[in-house]
A and B are shown apart, each in its own frame.
Chain A
Amino acid sequence: MNLIDQVEQLFIQDKIDIFLGYKALDGHLLPHGFTRDRMEELKALQVSEGRYSLEKIATHLTEKHPDIRIGMIARECNLRTLNLLYTWKQLNPENIETINISCCPSPLKPHSDCSYLEPKQTGAYKKTHGIDFNADPDTFLDDFNNKNRFSRWMYEFNKCIKCYGCRNICPVCFCDECSLEHASLVEPGTLPVDVPIFHLIRATHMAGRCIDCGLCEDACPMDIPLRLLYRQVNAIVSDIFDYRPGNGTDQSPFTIIGEKTVLEPKPMDAQLEGEKEYGL
């Protein structure tokens, strides 16, 4: 059964209220919510190399309408994210239907069928002054001394234009209050960005959270090798706490602020205003 038929079936069997996928529009594939009222749109439903955090749309929808049943295309990275969002009570697994697509690297294909189809290219200048996208955290530590690591990360961080793209695209960024908008940590509305504090705050918050989908690195207009940084923080958490995000059903034991983090995840309560606005 092809994808479109599968989605149609989900609607016919009344298993979902909305299906999140990609719709072709003027040659672009954009994330789109397909509904029963507009079944004809399903013709344009596609799977693409391009990716977007559909889970993030799902979390936002659920925030407004806690009981909404959502179907979505799920790659392996999406499935890891969904699992993590379930453990943090941002989504209810009973309300989510996925149509799974296998696309991650395997022994048969070294690269994924997504924007990581090809390994990222690192230019010569970036290689000598900055950090190779494809570097491995362990080799990076072995290859460069303390001073060298510092200057390379500073070269990368200094390029930051503080667009918040990495946070906005991140499917596992769901805190109500964001440290990156706390005036005492990151001065609001000014450039250049506070380096390295901005990036180290985010790195710390990704520890035990990041499911390594690579969307942040894709989104970054300044080519900062964020994936490498978050891979390392996750490796540290895995080392110290024996925890790997997206795998189990437990929340990460690692919190940097205290036993109880002040950055509470959003509750799944209905927001009355939102209900009125959307009339669902």
Chain B
Amino acid sequence: MTIKRIRFMQELLTFFGLEGRLHLEWISSAEAQKYVQVVTDFTEKIRQMGPNPLKKIDAAVKGAI
């Protein structure tokens, strides 16, 4: 169910224009190496995509009030 739910969220975010910012991975407690790899890869991916564009909008709205 979680896989399906996350897939729903990923597709909704894609439609909205925040593609690729949500990731789900199954990692067992015995898979330390995999954990490190997944987190490193995802961090790198997000770094390349740059900050979430919503953050800028939030700051602008707060500044305007």
Contacts and interface: CB of A to CB of B under 8 A. Distances in A.
Interface residues of B, number: 19
B57 A240 contact: no
A140 B7 CA distance: 19
Interface in B10-65: 11-12, 14-20, 53-54, 57, 61
Given A192-B61, A196-B54, A153 B4 contact: no
Contact of B8 (A153, A192, A236): A236
Interface residues of A, number: 30
B17 A241 contact: no
Interface in A127-176: 137, 140-141, 146-154
B1 to A, nearest CB: 7
A237 interface: yes
A254 B7 CA distance: 12
Interface in A232-280: 232-233, 236-237, 239-241, 254, 256, 259
Contact of B12 (A147, A192, A195, A233): A233
23 contacts: A137-B15, A140-B15, A146-B17, A146-B19, A146-B20, A147-B17, A147-B53, A150-B16, A150-B53, A153-B17, A154-B17, A154-B57, A196-B16, A196-B54, A204-B12, A207-B8, A232-B12, A232-B15, A236-B7, A236-B8, A254-B4, A256-B5, A256-B9
Given A150-B53, A152-B17, 17 more contacts: A140-B15, A141-B14, A146-B19, A148-B17, A151-B17, A153-B17, A154-B17, A192-B61, A204-B12, A232-B12, A233-B12, A236-B7, A237-B8, A239-B11, A241-B4, A254-B4, A254-B5
